[in-house]
Amino acid sequence: MIAQQATASMEADVLIIGSGAGGATTATVLAEAGFDVLVVEEGSWVEQGEVVPFSLDQMERQYRAGGVTVALGRPALAYTEGRCAGGGTEVNSGLYWRPPGELLERWRHDFRIADFDPAELLAIADEVETAINVRTVPAQHSAASEVLRSGAAALGWQHGEVPRWMTYPHGPDATKGERQSMTRTYLPRAAAAGARLAVGARVDHLVHQNGSATSANITLADGTKGSIRFGCVFVCGGAIQTPAILQRSRIAGFIGKSLAVHPTVKLAARFSDELNVPDDVPVHQVKEFAPHLSFGGSASNPGLVALSLLDQWSTFRQYVTDWRRMSVYYAAITSEGRGRVTSVPRMADPIVTYRLTHRDRELLRSGLARLTLLMLEAGATDVFPSFKGAPRVRSRKDLASMQQAFSASKATVMTVHLCSTVPMGEVVDSCGADSYGRVHGMKNVHVNDASLLPTAPGVNPQASVMAFAIRNARRFAAGEHNG
């Protein structure tokens, strides 16, 4: 382990708050450029293998609030945040998507991102993919993943395997990879270059005057108060915690007002043969209707299968004992709705709200119906949609009644992709940070995480986060934009 417990008094030339995809890559670039870097992380360091993936133990040790966090709205939208060294890279599925080129062009134009070359960002993505070993599974895919492939093929829908940041052994266990998360890749690189990582420190707020921040007030895991002095700070706490820190610091601007997510609805599908893989997720995704709608597979251990049946437990609970023949799948949309992150005095965590538009609700409806059709074409004997009043679907004849019964307000809607709460760009009225991540109106406060992405990208955002973070950190290291 390269981390140490935080102390009540620390200092550094550059303070980086958060150690996930944005914080770890920022720390590596700046430490390798010769800066004195301190990374502080609210959670702890958890070695891979210490916890079972998708278990309650993992939820308690590596997620904020045990994974139970909700954006208020109609319906409420459940979301998850990593809270550990490495952040979300330690707990997600490791699926890797480059940002679409046409999306980068749209961001550059609509948000007036200065000196931004999409080709440069994609070249950085090349480096990232080498550093974290992005690759496809070198052996046969799991049966749960094969469901997505075969169902899409039967319908003539576009589909494919999504690569992951994994290393794989040779031989019969070649499907069991080791996640090349930040604790395995960029954080060790940063430490080798001299960066320090302190865990167990929550940043309460930044102390600043006349546009310059000088220190961060912190609370240690045992409740001890402390302070970190710095010359410059990069806030990389994620799309919820980053705007909350800035708001608690009374830094004004377009901060926390444009939360963007990929809402998902789920179902459980039962098949004739056993296919459940409790500790992994399918690697195939269906992109026939992208970027508006996509289908994929979720973690499906027995508890999560039961959770997927919970909305209609009165009639679905009898099937939970057959979990080995069941797997959980999702339909995800690129939402037009937006949310807000609002820090409230004397509350540890911010209030998060999110509003789905009418179009979002209808897209979730059609998405769940199409996903159900996909399952039937793949050979599912029964499909159990996750919403109150849902019927069991056994054939195409049941689809119409299922679609008619569905409404988003009856469903368990959730997301694992959160972004856009401090959008980058030169349109000050709709951007919280400038084209390089420096917070508008501040001289030495930067953001370098998913908060910067101007809109939800329609794919897993972590590749975009890492590429932007490296771009911005290199500009800072070159002295081109560090105030």
For the annotated catalytic residues, the residue numbers are 417
Does residue 243 contact residue 255 with C-beta atoms inside 8 Å? yes
Residue 7 CB partners (closer than 8 Å, separation 6+):
198, 220, 226
Residue 456 CB partners (closer than 8 Å, separation 6+):
260, 261, 262, 334, 335, 417, 419, 420
Report the b/e string of 150-177 with b at 16+ CB within 10 A.
bbbeebebebebbbbbbebeeeeeebeb
- What is the token pair recorded at 193? 């270059």
Distances (CA, A) of 420 to 113, 151, 240, 340, 341: 14, 34, 10, 10, 11
Does residue 347 contact residue 317 with C-beta atoms inside 8 Å? no
- What is the token pair recorded at 327? 């797997």
C-alpha to C-alpha distance for 130 and 384, rounded to whole angstroms = 40
**Which long-range contacts does 10-13 make (Cβ < 8 Å, 24+ apart)?**
10/38, 10/40, 10/198, 10/226, 10/227, 10/228, 10/229, 11/38, 11/228, 11/229, 11/230, 12/36, 12/37, 12/38, 12/196, 12/228, 12/229, 12/230, 12/231, 13/37, 13/230, 13/231, 13/232
- Amino acid letter, residue 220: L
Does residue 375 contact residue 267 with C-beta atoms inside 8 Å? yes
